[in-house]
Amino acid sequence: MVQATPFLLVLSLALVAPSFSARKCVLTGHWINDLGSNMTIKALNGKGEFAGSYHTAVTATTNEIQVSPLQGSQHHTNEKSQSTFGFTVNWSFSDAITVFTGQCFVNKEGKEVLKTMWLLRSYVDMIKDDWKATRVGTNTFHRIHPQK
């Protein structure tokens, strides 16, 4: 009976301890940003590379918006719980490309948040218009269907 007490103590610590550790921010899943754009990131491969789809809520063009493919990679570290990443969206309905770079955070409410900056390169016919071809901005993404 006396030996059972330390065992039960270790067992209860082992069961409770995981809830104290920092939650990992995971890129895979469904996300929505502050503009109302939706993004799905598929499972990462062994090198941290991923593919997915992006449904933007806004466009700099007059074209009809279509869901567009994205490709990216997460920094190759397993230890970090809040990894850096980048991805490119090759727009299906315009001649533009957007590159996003950011970091996957767990905020103080325990929710995953992607803080990103982007560069949107639009097509221009002439080199003299190059100066106006690139827009810059930020987007914050929240998970739509939080993982349990």
In angstroms, give the least distance from the CB of 85 to ligand BTN: 16
The identity of residue 125, as a single letter, is D
Give the interface size with ligand BTN as a residue count (CB under 6 A). 17
Residue from 28, 103, 122, 140 in contact with ligand BTN (CB under 6 A): 122
Q: Is 94 in the site for ligand BTN (CB under 6 A)?
A: yes
Within positions 52 to 91, which residues make up the interface with ligand BTN, using CB under 6 A? 56, 58-61, 91
Site string for ligand BTN, 102-121 (x = CB under 6 A): ----------------x-x-
Q: Is 31 in the site for ligand BTN (CB under 6 A)?
A: no
58 contacts 38 by C-beta, under 8 angstroms: no
48 contacts 74 by C-beta, under 8 angstroms: yes
Tokens of 134: 């690139």
Closest CA to 105 of 6, 12, 26, 8: 26
Half-sphere exposure of 19 (CA within 13 A, CB side): 5
In angstroms, give the least distance from the CB of 66 to ligand BTN: 10
